[in-house]
């Protein structure tokens, strides 16, 4: 069952946005979006209480929303891509 995922990588997939339904993965501990085209983070991302690691390295995020303070995870990398 997908809800039982604890680690998932979406690295190098040309993803432009994180879907709102990401919060349905109730046991997710590690979420990797390395090297994509993400520009902003959905509010639902900050509702994943089990998340320990969030890798956003090499994306196009310029501003972090204030609600990121709700996230208990370690956020890795905020270096913008050079595309």
Pairing of the two strands 7-9 and 53-55: unpaired
Question: How far is residue 13 from each of residues 1, 65, 72, measured CA to CA in Å?
Answer: 23, 23, 25
Mean pLDDT value of segment 12-16: 97
Q: Mind listing the pLDDT tens digit for each residue in 33-80?
A: 999 999 999 999 998 999 999 999 999 998 888 888 888 888 877 655
Quote the pTM value. Answer: 0.84
């Amino acid at each position: 069952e997908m809800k039982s995922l604890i680690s998932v990588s979406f690295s190098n997939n040309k993803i432009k946005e994180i879907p709102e339904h990401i919060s349905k993965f109730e046991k997710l501990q590690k979420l990797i979006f390395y090297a994509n085209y993400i520009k902003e983070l959905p509010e639902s991302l900050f509702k994943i209480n089990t998340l320990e690691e969030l890798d956003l390295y090499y994306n196009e995020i310029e501003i972090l929303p204030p609600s990121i303070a709700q996230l208990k995870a370690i956020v890795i990398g905020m270096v913008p891509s050079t595309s």
